[in-house]
Structure 1
């Protein structure tokens, strides 16, 4: 029995591995393309508006990107497993308010941040349990929790609003200060980004997420704990959304019941534009971060060029459609290449 199952298992696992290598080559090229577009866009804006990349301008660009990058890192891990988390905007909003209430009550800023992270992780655990154990599609689960969390947030917050005057000066200062033009928030975000990338690349459980996203059937045959890996991805996504909520409060010093509303669509756009395949199994958190930086930069570039910010949403949607179209074309080409390779292999065996 072992002699017949093992070759089948190896063959099933081999094709997703080949497909993933082919896709990764193209997605790395997409990451380079995002960098090129970003450089050209910022350079052109600087030529048009010499004050755009001033010291404060660079600092603002980095500050604007940090929150989205953080949430995009967690979302990328979920998408890599062939799932999605649409609740991140709601989690960010309720975590921001929870940390604000904690600070108003005299808590240490670190305790308030940890509270936000724990709250986000709890919602991530709920999402992961429903998806992995309940066998409910991720889109349905996280769309439901999006509205549930938003409803809880609206009832809890009501008409109240937390402002910078209600918060400790050191906490608000952390959201604005930095080393030269590099904000502390950006340094923290880069550190988290590096840890996430190292985990996905060098730890078996991280590589398992790619295998799971490439082919759940092959991953199951290979003995990968699918439920555990799915739960891990959702918990990390929720925890980072919670952390982003606390940092959002430090950055803007203002939280109400609408905080984070609609944020989930921007995050998904950033992840997909950055080269993380929406069909799972390919991409990197670095690519997701680049996508987030690109989208937030567009938000800053258009006003600097005198273009109405109304166009930002339309451009984000266009980029998302283009990225999904590229992913679809890529998937079809990889499938064709694998069929051709399989035909050649069979022909060589029979020959």
Structure 2
């Protein structure tokens, strides 16, 4: 006699919310930030004074905005090394606008800065998508071209805090609920770009392009147009950062923004955006920017030599890349195991 056994219904796998949260790329970075603040505060209680907190926010603001912009480009498996030069051009241009028209409404100055940044970003994106030369090469060349233009334009001239309207300078002084106005602007930028990447078709396409641009083309994604969009968005946000830089700091000139691009790349990578594209978030990039600027402030408060500050940032970058590489290898192994099991 044959005994029949009914197949047991499959039980859906329950996801552990805590486990899902812990696996998020932003969690280790945020945890490191919290630990750093706690350790520094124990060693130096003035670190989290009201003025200390405000300084931390102000120091991170411009880096956050630029890391968000560059993050969208890195997600597509591209890079833009000219962001420091773009910021310098826009910052000096902002000073020039105020010198030529002292009574110009501040909102127009922001629009001019955004437009100039978008134009420079569009030039980068156009060259990358049309010439089909690696973005590393194109933007490295544009870094020197934009810097050369700024040097020729500025020469030895500088614009100082006294050359701008008082209302413009107060953007980094006045606060909303204790948060500096320019930091509020940065928070709004992070939220808007995060929503764009997560909730819109063009934003999600950027991840597909970064994962495999050839497959993205086969699925009908307009790769060139999307990559150009990422570069324009990056340029626009860098332009915004340039205007805020002119408000935040006492002077702008030919050397403004020099070397800043490396800090921005570091912030995005440390924040969990894969250097080879396809994964990560601008929220993580923003947290990475806050972490790096806080490291500098913390080590300064503890009296640590500047060399060690740079060395620690370098270690963080290498660690982030190694972690990403290990995660990719493990993911590939799991995928091969799964395919072999179902074969």
TM-score, normalised on structure 2? 0.91
Deviation by residue 1:71-113 (Cα, 9 ceiling, x = unmatched)? 0001110011110111100000010000110011123222122
SS at match of 1:267: helix
Change (3 A) 1:221 1:329: same
Contact 1:75 1:237 in 2 (8 A): yes
Tell whether 2:336 aligns with 1:339: yes
Deviation by residue 1:261-302 (Cα, 9 ceiling, x = unmatched)? 111110000000000011111000000000000000011001
Q: Which of residues 142, 148, 153 in structure 2 aligns to 1:151? A: 148
Q: Distance in 1 between matches of 2:22 and 2:272?
A: 5
Tell whether 2:110 aligns with 1:77: no
Q: Which of residues 131, 135, 141 in structure 2 aligns to 1:134? A: 131
Q: Mapping of 1:297-308 within 5 angstroms?
A: 297-308=294-305
Q: Please, which runs of 5 or more residues in structure 2 have no aligned partner?
A: 1-19
Q: Which of residues 213, 219, 222 in structure 2 aligns to 1:222? A: 219
Deviation by residue 1:152-204 (Cα, 9 ceiling, x = unmatched)? 11111110111001110000011222124310011111111100000111101
Deviation at 1:27, TM superposition (A): 9.3
Contact 2:113 2:239 in 1 (8 A): yes
Deviation by residue 1:233-266 (Cα, 9 ceiling, x = unmatched)? 0000011111101101101131011111111110
Contact 2:21 2:27 in 1 (8 A): no
Q: Which of residues 5, 9, 30 in structure 1 aligns to 2:25? A: 30
Tell whether 2:55 aligns with 1:54: no
Q: Distance in 2 between matches of 1:262 and 1:250?
A: 20
Partner of 1:8: none
Deviation by residue 1:85-143 (Cα, 9 ceiling, x = unmatched)? 11100000010000110011123222122111111111111111111121010100110
SS at match of 2:334: helix
Q: Which has the larger radius of gyration?
A: 2
Deviation at 1:28, TM superposition (A): 5.0
Q: Distance in 2 between matches of 1:82 and 1:157?
A: 34
Partner of 2:319: 322
Q: Distance in 1 between matches of 2:72 and 2:227?
A: 9
Deviation at 1:336, TM superposition (A): 1.7
Contact 2:25 2:280 in 1 (8 A): no
Q: Distance in 1 between matches of 2:308 and 2:152?
A: 32
* Displaced runs of 4 or more, over 3 A: 25-30
Contact 1:174 1:185 in 2 (8 A): yes
SS at match of 2:304: coil
Task: Give aligned pairs, total.
Answer: 322
Q: Distance in 1 between matches of 2:54 and 2:230?
A: 31
Q: Distance in 2 between matches of 1:52 and 1:180?
A: 20
Deviation at 1:29, TM superposition (A): 3.3
Q: Distance in 1 between matches of 2:142 and 2:263?
A: 18
Q: Which of residues 203, 207, 212 in structure 1 aligns to 2:209? A: 212
Q: Which moved more, 1:149-158 or 1:328-337?
A: 328-337
Q: Distance in 2 between matches of 1:162 and 1:291?
A: 31
Partner of 2:238: 241
Q: Mapping of 1:1-351 within 5 angstroms?
A: 28-106=23-101, 107-345=104-342, 347=343
- Measured on the aligned residues, the alpha-carbon RMSD in Å equals 1.3
